[in-house]
Every structure is written in structure tokens, then in C-alpha cells.
Structure 1
């Protein structure tokens, strides 16, 4: 078959280039398509991103409740400052326990905090915290030994669920109250239990739940302010990092 000189020269030239470039040496209408394709601007690949988490650090969990609150909810708590459970990283996960026996009146209180950073593969910190909070509320209704579990939604933080249940341990009737709340990317779990030994009656479940809610609100406030004792100390800035103390002026008094 007769071939024109320019066309034959092009074919021979293509035979000497690397394989990755051979596609650009096709004949006929492919030349036009390749030219059009090369003239189009390339679109950058989409990089996944999620909204940044609001909090990057937790407050001291055992200081998230004031001493006054502990006195009211757990009379004669030992130690009053609470017992912190060991954690690999207290900036992201922390729990503190209080329990006390006042005569024959027993009370137990625990506060747990769990922080979730935003992750491109797992979602925003808020979403991850909400998933965890939902799981913890469900867990409170299905723990071995609990009965008559009842759940309700309540207005604490960005979202919250309360769970009240009963449990019999060592022949005594316990009233268990759990509040699972979320503030931004932090999950807050407050568990408040009570029982009456000997001649002491079982505590009123409604009163226990009201106290548990008040404690949860105080903890949520501590997380938001990034301070201890329900907001005592330096003023919060809306982040989890403690606010810097302003320079003291003469005549100022400690708060």
C-alpha cells in the first residue's frame, strides 16, 4: 500500500519512543482527540476533609464537679477529691469515681469523659462522639442485672439521654441513674447510684435523677470552659484549652 512520506516518517518515529508515550502516536482521528484532550485543564483530585473538632483537650475529670456538689451528692465521700482511673491519655479519655456511706445511706457517683478528634476516614468529632454516646446509653439499659430500664431525652449539652434502672446487689435494692450527654466532640457519662442499708429506705429515683442531671450540666460546663470545679478559675474561651490568666493588677483579689 502506498503511504505518504510524512505519514511514514511519523510511524517510524513512534516505534522508537517508550511504551507510555505510544498512545500519543496513534493515527487518523485519534490524533485530533489527543490534541483536544491535552488542551483541557486537568482537574485536581478531590482531597477528603472534615470540619475541625471544637475541643482538643479534656479538663481534669476529678475537678469537673465542685466540692459542694460532691458533698451534696456523695456525703462522706472518701476521698472527697475522687479516685481517677488509669488512662493511657487523659487528654482524650478519663474517669473519676466517688462513693460514700453516710450512716446506712450509700451513694456512688462516676464521671467519664471521652474526646473524639475529627478524622477524614471516620467523620467529624461531633458525629463520632454522638455515636459513642448513643452506644453508652443503650449499654446502660442492657447491663447484666438491671431491670425496669427507662430512657428519656433531655436538654443537656448538644444532646443527652437519661437512663433510670433498678438493680439488686447483695440483697439490697439499688437505684441507678445514668446521664449520657454530648457537647461538641466530647461525650459525658454521669452514673449516679444509691441504696439504703439496714433500716434506711431505698432512695427516691426521681431525686437521684434530678441530682444526676445537675451533675451532668456542671460537667458539660466544665468541658466548655476548660476549667475545673464547674467553671471556677480562669474564664473559658469556648475551646478545650485553658484560658490564660490575665495580668494581676494591684489591689486585685483572688477569685
Structure 2
């Protein structure tokens, strides 16, 4: 009886030890399973991030059409000698405006005073300014930037301070688009007849200012005659832009199938743009210097 009791006690202790060992073995199995589950979630998140980065890097970077024209003509040589003789007959030479980059901005002006003694005198002032825009991926193509500047330039001319009887009209066969604005400007020296042609050819904007006045008792010039001369000169200035860039330079060359000029250039700075606007809107009523 005593031996049986001892064996029963030993069997119970063995069973309890077995249960403890079984439970102990089960714990690491659960931990391993939990660890695998956690790793799996982290891996999915990492894969998604990697796929997103790869997709972003595979997206093509934005591109913009190259500008047609890469340079400007010499502004004081943009008009023929005959045209200058007709518009500013008493002018000896043009005065070139200052520019920090002649490939993006240029201007030239001429003064003419025909003194007729006691009969008075005829004054003429002519100015040509050009501004070229380069294509930029963040801002758009050179054509688009020139288009925006062209529209603003026309609006600024139409709103000139002191202008009387403002009239505007399109100018055909002058670049891609052109607008003529005319008005009178009365000053103490006399009434000045102002003519401004704003034209865009590809990525270049040309602004031509021409005005005349009869001084010291001489009669005022005809606005129609001045407008006719201004349009002729503007057409020459626009053609000079195409010629400066070679026969293959842009649509204005007459053959849109030819490649655009690839001449390297810089985007005109904000200061240059402001300066060009100031040149084109210069006061036509500047008192002419009298002949000695």
C-alpha cells in the first residue's frame, strides 16, 4: 500500500512537469508567429514606398519647345538708310540704348529737327526697341512669354498718360501679330502726333515709336502720313530679327518646315523687361534741342 501511494505521487509529479514543459515550449512558438506577422506588415509598407519612389522617378520631366530666335539684330542697323532718311531726315546717327545683354534686349533712337527759320520747324523722333524671350520649363515657351509681354505692351501704350484721341488697329503682314496705336499729346512746345507699333515675331517683341510735331508756328504733320511711315519701319525691324537669325530662324522666315535656330541664349531678366517697357513708352514730347 505504501509503495503504491509513492508511485501515485511520482506519477502526479511527472504529469505536472510534463504540462510545464509543454507550456514553456508553446510560448516561443507564439512569439515567433507574432514576430513573423509584424515583419510582414513592415515589409508591405516598405514595398509600397519603394514602388511609389520608382514610379515618381520614372515620370518624364516637363519639357518646353525651344525658342525660335536666339539673338537680336543690332538695333541701330535694324532700319535701312532710306527709311531713316524718310522718317528722320536731319538725324546724323542713332543713339543705342544701354543693355546688360544685347542678345535679349536692344534699342536705338533718332532725333530730327528741320529748322525753317521764321516759318518754324519740324521735329521727328524715332525709337526701336526689341525684347527676346527664351523658353523656360517653369514659365513656358518663348512664344508664350513674348505673347504675354506683347499684350501688356499694347495695353500700356493705349493707356499712355495725357493721350488724346487714342485709336488702335491691327497691322497685317508684320510678324505673327502687330497693333498700331496713335494719339495726340499736347505740350507747351506743340501738339505731338504719336504713332506706336507693337509687333511680335515668334519669341521677340518689337516696339517702334514715331512721333512728329510742328514747332514755332509750323503746322502739325499728318497723322496718316506718320502712321504709314511707322508701319513701314516696323515691318523692316521685324524682318531684321529674322535675318539676324539666318534663313532657318523660325516661322517668320517663310518656311515653317525649317528647324528653329538653336543659338544659346539667356532669359531676359526682370530688370531688362522693365527697361524695355520704359524705352517703348518714352515720352514723345521731349523738347528738341535747337540747332546752334
2:148 is equivalent to residue 141 of structure 1: no
Structure 1 regions of 5+ residues with no counterpart?
15-20, 27-33, 228-234, 242-255
Larger Cα Rg: Structure 1 or Structure 2?
A: 2
1:215 corresponds to 2:236: no
Question: Does the CA-based 8 Å contact 1:114-1:187 persist in structure 2?
Answer: yes
Once the 2 structures are TM-superposed, how far is the Cα of residue 140 of structure 1 from its aligned partner?
A: 1.1
The 2-side partners of 1:45 and 1:191 are apart by 48
Match of 1:55 among 52, 55, 69: 69
**TM-score after normalising by structure 1:** 0.76
Is residue 89 from structure 1 mapped to residue 101 from structure 2 by the alignment? yes
Hey, what's the Cα distance between the residues in 2 that align with 1:9 and 1:240?
A: 62
In structure 1, distance between residues paired with 2:44 and 2:135: 48
1:115–1:186 CA contact under 8 A, matched in 2: yes
Measure, in 2, the Cα distance between the counterparts of 1:205 and 1:194.
9
2: distance between equivalents of 1:25 and 1:177? 71
Give the RMSD, CA atoms, in angstroms. Answer: 2.7
Stretch deviating more after TM superposition (216-225 or 165-174): 165-174
**Superposed, which structure 2 residues align to 1:123-138 within 5 Å?**
123-138=140-155
Q: Are residues 1:165 and 2:183 paired? A: yes
| C-alpha deviation, 1:146, in angstroms | 1.3
Cα distance per residue 1:118-139 (max 9 Å; x no partner): 1111111111111111111111
Which residue is equivalent to 1:245? none
Length-normalised TM-score, structure 2: 0.67
Greater per-residue helix proportion: 2
Q: Is the 8 A contact 2:127 2:209 kept in 1?
A: yes
Return the alpha-carbon distance in structure 1 between the equivalents of residues 192 and 35 of structure 2: 94
Q: How far apart, in 2, do the equivalents of 1:109 and 1:236 lie?
A: 28
